[in-house]
């Protein structure tokens, strides 16, 4: 780094903190592999060379060759620099100040006294920052048989490496699961549950032998245990739960159950967290379908109320509901949470009355991260409401995203096999792409602790291209 000790000492004596920060950030940019912005391949600047030569010769005593090398030369696209993938940014920390008199067309380059948004995105491409969350999907569509028990457990391995696990020695993440697909024939007794083994390496699906489970899908959400902003848990609601009134003597649940949830660590004053909630297990008896909804209400910095609504019809008896909840600060930069769904008044895109032809509902949901992004995020989802009916003992429903942009999810809910939809709600969590994580705070922390970096494997091979 070209940190002139005399200049740094002078800035410290003048207590010019802004200029000191600008100089250090600029030189750190070089250490990280950034070239001067006016020298990058896409900097098509119409220099007034006579003014340039006169200015640098009179003020800095630079020769014509020095001006050419430091100002007028620029890298070409053949130099294979990643800079060729970005447009010129006149507000970059790597851009010198040039007034309009330095160019023939009056183009003004103010430069930057801090990292610009484009600077942060570009450095993130050079050095992807470990996120604290990752997500993916698993679908089971082939099932074995078992005669040793009336219950059947199916397992599959989870990924051995997550995008935020930057070191192999890092503590395994916590894994949360959400149901996104259910295809069951003859479901008078529906038992379905997905969980993760204590080692967080295997995903398990528990069901009944002979249930007629054709296919099942769930998404997984991996959360770094080192991120103290995350709060989450799995709650099993059944007739033995302490929140159920003692006078309730039946084996199935009452219509409404409310459970107070307290965070392990309260969030900051004025910081009301975002709480997402979904279903991961169902144990019910019904010939007519399901009517279950879970939600989070009365949220404050210390906790919230988990509410579970169950069908009023006596023919739908729900014995147990497994609920997962997940909380994070609303200012969290790499996570965005929301929900989408359909009601009985929703019109499908293609309503074909055929048992094995899906009826499709589609829609879009916009989201906004704490700061701007350029890459589509990953999407986790899970059902939080299932009010569906069946006329032929075949229950089939699926939720997925079919297109994702940096600011929007295009979602799709399919039903088939004679399933009727009254209301379906899906909780989704958008997980920001790893290389999108903001770099500004990282450089701030580097400056605060006085850290410095050596350039490893970076060779500056400038190809000169001077327009004479």
Predicted confidence pLDDT, tens digits, the chain (468 residues): 555 555 555 655 566 677 778 888 888 888 888 888 988 888 889 999 999 999 999 988 999 999 998 888 877 765 545 555 578 889 999 999 999 999 999 999 998 888 887 887 777 666 655 566 677 777 666 444 444 446 777 777 776 666 554 444 456 778 888 999 988 876 667 778 888 876 666 788 888 766 677 888 888 888 887 788 899 999 998 877 777 766 666 767 778 889 999 999 898 877 899 999 999 998 887 767 788 999 999 999 999 999 999 875 546 678 889 999 999 988 887 888 999 999 865 555 544 445 556 788 999 998 887 666 677 888 999 999 998 887 777 788 999 998 888 889 999 999 887 788 889 999 999 988 765 444 444 444 333 333 222 222 222 333 333 333
Q: Which domain holds residue 82?
A: 5-127+439-448
Q: Based on the domain organization, do 158 and 296 belong to the same domain? A: yes
Q: Are residues 166 and 152 in the same domain?
A: yes
Quote the CA–CA distance of 337 and 135 in Å, as a whole number.
13
Are residues 267 and 279 located together in one domain of the fold? yes
Please indicate, yes or no, if residue 455 is contained in any of the structural domains.
Answer: no
Helices (H) and strands (E) in the chain, counts: 6, 18
In a domain, 468, yes or no: no
- For residue 285, what pLDDT is reported? 79
What pLDDT does residue 245 have?
A: 67
- Number of domains the chain is built from: 2
Question: pLDDT exceeding 70 applies to what percent of the chain?
Answer: 70
pLDDT confidence of residue 340: 94
Q: Identify whether residues 38 and 78 lie together within a single domain.
A: yes
Is there a single domain that holds both residue 259 and residue 202? yes
Asked if 115 and 215 sit in the same domain, the reply is no
Position 99 scores a pLDDT of: 92
- In 3D space, the residue among 408, 218, 227 whose CA is nearest the CA of residue 334 turns out to be 227
pTM assigned to the model:
0.64
Closest alpha carbon to 174 in 228, 221, 229, 234:
221
Residues 228 and 206 placed together within one structural domain of the fold: yes
Quote the DSSP letter at residue 164: T
pLDDT at 264: 92
- Side-chain half-sphere exposure of 300, counting CA atoms within 13 A: 5
**Which pLDDT score is estimated for 260?**
93
Closest CA to 378 of 389, 369, 387: 369
For 44-52, the CB contacts below 8 A with 24+ separation are 44/88, 45/88, 45/103, 45/107, 45/109, 46/103, 46/104, 46/105, 46/107, 47/71, 47/72, 47/102, 47/103, 47/104, 48/101, 48/102, 48/103, 48/104, 51/101, 51/102, 52/102
pLDDT for res 32: 82
- Let me know if residue 69 belongs to a domain: yes
* Domain annotation covers residue 463: no
Residue 13 DSSP one-character state: H
- 74 and 144 inside one domain: no
Note whether residue 461 is domain-resident.
Answer: no
Give the start-end residues of each E strand in 127-173.
Answer: 133-140, 151-157
Q: Are residues 177 and 147 in the same domain?
A: yes
Q: Are 133 and 332 in contact (CB under 8 A)?
A: no
292 and 404 part of one domain? yes
What pLDDT is attached to residue 411? 93
């Amino acid at each position: 780094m070209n940190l002139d000790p005399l200049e740094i000492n002078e800035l410290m004596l003048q207590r010019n903190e802004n200029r000191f920060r600008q100089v250090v950030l600029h030189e750190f940019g070089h250490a990280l592999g950034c070239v001067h912005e006016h020298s990058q391949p896409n900097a098509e600047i119409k220099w007034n060379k006579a003014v340039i030569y006169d200015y640098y010769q009179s003020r800095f005593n630079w020769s014509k060759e020095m001006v050419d090398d430091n100002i007028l030369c620029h890298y070409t696209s053949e130099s294979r620099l990643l800079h060729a993938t970005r447009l010129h940014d006149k507000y970059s920390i790597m851009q010198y100040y040039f007034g309009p008199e330095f160019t023939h067309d009056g183009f003004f380059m103010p430069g930057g006294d801090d990292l610009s948004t484009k600077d942060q995105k570009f450095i993130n491409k050079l050095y992807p920052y470990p996120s604290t969350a990752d997500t993916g999907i698993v679908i089971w569509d082939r099932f074995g048989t078992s005669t040793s028990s009336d219950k059947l457990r199916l397992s599959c391995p989870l990924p051995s490496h997550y995008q935020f696990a930057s070191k192999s020695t890092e503590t395994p993440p916590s894994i949360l699961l959400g149901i996104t697909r259910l295809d069951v024939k003859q479901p008078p007794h529906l038992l379905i549950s997905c969980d993760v083994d204590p080692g967080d390496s295997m995903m398990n699906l528990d069901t009944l032998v002979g249930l007629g489970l054709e296919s099942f899908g769930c998404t997984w959400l991996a959360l770094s245990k080192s991120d103290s902003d995350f709060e989450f848990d799995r709650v099993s609601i059944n007739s033995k739960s302490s929140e159920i009134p003692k006078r309730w003597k039946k084996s199935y649940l009452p219509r409404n159950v409310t459970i107070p949830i307290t965070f392990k660590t309260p969030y900051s004053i004025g910081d009301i967290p975002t709480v997402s909630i979904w279903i991961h297990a169902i144990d019910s008896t019904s010939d007519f379908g399901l009517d279950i909804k879970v939600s989070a209400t009365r949220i404050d910095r210390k906790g919230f109320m988990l509410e579970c609504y169950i069908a009023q019809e006596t023919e739908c008896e729900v014995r147990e509901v497994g609920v997962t909840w997940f909380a994070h600060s609303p200012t969290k930069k790499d996570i965005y949470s929301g929900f989408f769904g359909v009601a009985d008044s929703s019109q499908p895109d293609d309503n074909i009355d055929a048992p094995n032809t899906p009826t499709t509902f589609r829609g879009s949901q916009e989201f906004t991260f704490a700061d701007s992004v350029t890459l589509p995020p990953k999407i986790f989802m899970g059902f939080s409401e299932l009010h569906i009916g069946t006329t032929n003992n075949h229950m089939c429903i699926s939720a997925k995203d079919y297109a994702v942009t940096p600011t929007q999810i295009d979602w799709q809910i399919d039903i088939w096999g004679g399933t009727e939809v009254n209301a379906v709600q899906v909780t989704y969590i958008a997980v920001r792409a790893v290389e999108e994580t903001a770099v500004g705070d990282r450089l701030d922390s580097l400056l605060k602790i006085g850290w410095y970096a050596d350039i490893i494997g970076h060779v500056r091979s400038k190809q000169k291209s001077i327009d004479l």
